[in-house]
Amino acid sequence: MTGPRRLPAGFRVGHWTDSDARTGCTVVLAPPGTRGSVDVRGGGTGTREIETLSPLANSEGPNAVLLTGGSAFGLAAADGVVRWLEERGAGRPTLGGVVPIVPTAVVFDLVEGSAARRPGPDEGYAACEAAGDAISMRGPVGAGAGTAVGKLLGRAHATRGGVGNAARTLADGTVVAAIAVANAFGDVIGDEGELLGAPRGEDGELVRTSRLLPGMTGLPEFRDISQRTAGNTTLVCVCTDASVDKRTCAIVARMASAGIARAVDPAFTPLDGDVVFCLASGADPPAPPGLAASWSVTVLGSAAATVTAEAIRDAVRQSS
């Protein structure tokens, strides 16, 4: 878990971690006026309030995004984030006061540590209290505390996952960063095709899931239910200071999902709950539709895919 990593100005990230129970949560606090959207690719998601990020929804964007352990139980941690934001007057204005918008996505970590201990409102609040403008801790912290990748042969033979981060600055000064939680069924692949995280065979060597799968005639059999291959997810939150609208955030989130496919093999399976958020905080008016705008979005989305792949790889490297 090395040095702080940069975020676009105004964004803050905080973790709450229970190292003994191997669970936690990670919150991304967005600057006022942030737009956001989401791309859902996995077949087994656990989420809350992501409908507010649809390009057709009337809410422009969230006040925070929460990535949390605890499976469906962990969704309760969002209540603490909502409370923290409300105390500071952050939220969607209504006649009854501000209503914070906190889209949330979970990973399954109940078979790690203690299944009875999972993030709740107090833990979500604590993650907000710990938030800073740089990501000072990566690896098995926050929502990545109990994660693993390469789980074809069960968690006992898997590689530890975690939280990772990567960022790029474009030629025009725009910053694009990604925070990733790696808990995939598939392997995590380096940028040269090497295995970073995968099942370990009997000799302890990493083996490729894509090579093992074609030779299997059915589900692997495990004596312990906790070792089964279900309960997988890659979660990503892309943050940028680009000046783009909500629809464009949806396009960038979709393009960023390509980064999961670059770094995880296989990706987007029915056993995974892959979700990518995109948050944009730029204050200038978005560019009008046209070729120039399409070009800018292409550059932005390409960078988002790159940092997504790098953040997933970073999550495994920081946990090894």
Which domain CATH number covers 105?
3.60.70.12
- Distance, in Å, from the CA atom of 73 to the CA atom of 78, rounded to the nearest integer, reads 11
Higher pLDDT, 87 or 116: 87
Is pLDDT at 225 greater than 50 in this prediction?
A: no
Structural domain boundaries enclosing 112: 5-319
Given pLDDT bands bounded at 50, 70 and 90, which one contains residue 255?
A: very high
pLDDT score at 3? 47
Given pLDDT bands bounded at 50, 70 and 90, which one contains residue 229?
A: low
Question: What's the burial of 289, exposed, middle or buried (CB within 10 Å: 0-12/13-18/19+)?
Answer: exposed
pLDDT score at 126? 98
Is pLDDT at 227 greater than 70 in this prediction?
A: no
Is pLDDT at 298 greater than 50 in this prediction?
A: yes
- Distance, in Å, from the CA atom of 185 to the CA atom of 231, rounded to the nearest integer, reads 8
- For residue 243, give the DSSP letter: -
Higher pLDDT, 114 or 139: 139
Average of per-residue pLDDT across 30-38 = 96
Average of per-residue pLDDT across 296-308 = 97
CB 86 within 8 A of CB 100: yes
Given pLDDT bands bounded at 50, 70 and 90, which one contains residue 43?
A: confident
What is the residue-averaged pLDDT of the chain? Answer: 92
CB 147 within 8 A of CB 117: no
Return the beta strands (E) in the chain as ranges: 5-6, 12-18, 23-29, 35-40, 47-48, 64-68, 104-106, 134-135, 148-149, 159-160, 162-169, 175-183, 187-189, 195-197, 233-240, 264-265, 275-280
Structure tokens belonging to residue 34: 């942030």
Average of per-residue pLDDT across 118-147 = 95
pLDDT score at 149? 96
Given pLDDT bands bounded at 50, 70 and 90, which one contains residue 217?
A: confident
pLDDT score at 222? 54
pLDDT score at 228? 57
pLDDT score at 1? 41
The total number of structural domains that make up the chain:
1
Average of per-residue pLDDT across 201-217 = 88
